[in-house]
Chains A and B, each alone.
Chain A
């Protein structure tokens, strides 16, 4: 693989850009691999990357039903933060956030990580109390956050309306080192690095069955033939329940459509990410100038990747009160992604009842920010055959043992 650099740009400028090579290969699958990962989204590719980099397992295939990064990796609102309440969540999300800081250099691919700061607005007395508690917890966990007053909110984000009649801004939980990154670039960067290590990324190849023998996984049947392996990782977000069924076990997961939308591009007006959890909306401005708005999940389970219209209406209606400036913006695009939600709104990184088969799912409505940390922990789990320290709290056993990692009401998650 040729490195991207200033010298490369100059070189290519002198020869009509004829020397750029494809970022990753698209090979036909081999008969057998040391490890196979189903799902070439951010989490799958990151897992493969750290399997190769941290554990030396490079004979790896990543199988993807559609195209690379075309699921939730390409559909999220690209927010990165780690201000979670529970220790185990804060640990894995903070690992991810800290890996994002140097990801561009590490992958030699610009993922456009922009630590512009994330604020979560407190718009009720209860939220103030909740976020103060989270800020204290974060300080103990080593995650840099603070609770800021309305004046500071206004200073950081001048377009905000503090004294809205229904949703006044009473303060915010501020994580200065949170931010955004280019979501596609994260998938592409990992894919390029994986391909460079000799891994095979096989797109447009659907897994139709998981082959078992004596309670162990022996391979997968795909639309491109049988691929043998004794180490299988299922990292398919919304489709986890479907593949788990093929592997012979069930998951405590419900799939639901989560939607987002972007406006027409406007001049720079907002250089932080603002999340308003009381009204279920959040907004940031992309580098192109579009306002990126995240909405709510549908009120019922589905696999449609589009989302209900009235949820958008609710989100936008509420955001207009907090940001009156956007009231005449035209919305350009709206889309949905199928997210996999667990009962305690925390992910699952775990061994499964099928030996040699591992699962990484349940990231629900906030998986993008976790990609490097999730891949790191999942790779460790797959390489050692047992949960890594980062992943141990997120095992499937927790549902039997009642060790829930209760983030759904605790840490102001947006859904």
Chain B
């Protein structure tokens, strides 16, 4: 189980949070980009072994959305959310 560092509530139990998925690219304007780029935005997310930036929602807490950097192999949370978002 993870201890996740919420920017407001500090370290809290994983069960208080809802996972929002890895951070992908920013949403492009669908009319301005090629089809492939739009499809890539819709379907592809980073799925590395090692550090990945991901969104979490402190749903059963303060309600804040934030980004953390977590190692997908060791579960280690590498940077504090403030440094990234």
A residues touching B (Cβ–Cβ < 8 Å)?
239, 241-242, 250-255, 299-304, 308-310, 343, 399-400
In the bound complex, CA of A241 to CA of B72 (Å): 13
B39 at the interface (CB under 8 A from A): yes
A343 neighbours in B (Cβ, 8 Å): 43
Nearest A residue to B73 via CB reads A303
Q: A254-B47, A310-B1 are contacts. A399–B72 as well, Cβ < 8 Å?
A: no
Nearest B residue to A311 via CB reads B1
In the bound complex, CA of A369 to CA of B39 (Å): 31
Q: A242-B49, A301-B22, A303-B49 are contacts. A252–B1 as well, Cβ < 8 Å?
A: no
Nearest B residue to A302 via CB reads B72
Contact A400 B39 (CB under 8 A): yes
In the bound complex, CA of A241 to CA of B48 (Å): 7
B14 at the interface (CB under 8 A from A): yes
Contact A301 B72 (CB under 8 A): yes
B35 at the interface (CB under 8 A from A): yes
Contact B1 A308 (CB under 8 A): yes
B54 neighbours in A (Cβ, 8 Å): 300-301
Contact with A along B13-49 (1 / 0, CB 8 A): 0110011011000000000000110011011110111
B18 neighbours in A (Cβ, 8 Å): 299
Is chain B's binding surface mostly helix, strand, loop or mixed?
mixed
In the bound complex, CA of A302 to CA of B22 (Å): 11
B21 neighbours in A (Cβ, 8 Å): 254, 301
Contact B40 A250 (CB under 8 A): yes
Instruction: Report how many A-B pairs have Cβ atoms within 8 Å.
Output: 55
Contact B43 A302 (CB under 8 A): no
Closest 5 A/B residue pairs (Cβ):
A241-B47, A252-B43, A300-B19, A399-B43, A302-B72
B75 at the interface (CB under 8 A from A): yes
The residue that A303 contacts in the complex, of B15, B19, B22, B72, with Cβ under 8 A, is B72
Of A300, A302, A343, chain B has the most CB atoms within 10 Å of the CB of A300
In the bound complex, CA of A309 to CA of B39 (Å): 36
The smallest C-beta distance from A296 to any residue of chain B, in angstroms, reads 13
Q: A241-B47, A253-B47, A254-B47 are contacts. A302–B39 as well, Cβ < 8 Å?
A: no
B40 neighbours in A (Cβ, 8 Å): 250
Contact A310 B15 (CB under 8 A): yes
Contact B49 A304 (CB under 8 A): no
Contact A309 B19 (CB under 8 A): no
A241 neighbours in B (Cβ, 8 Å): 47-48
In the bound complex, CA of A250 to CA of B44 (Å): 7
The residue that B44 contacts in the complex, of A239, A252, A301, A303, with Cβ under 8 A, is A252
Contact A301 B73 (CB under 8 A): no
Nearest A residue to B36 via CB reads A400
B15 neighbours in A (Cβ, 8 Å): 310
Nearest A residue to B74 via CB reads A304
Contact with A along B40-82 (1 / 0, CB 8 A): 1011110111001010000000000000001011110000000
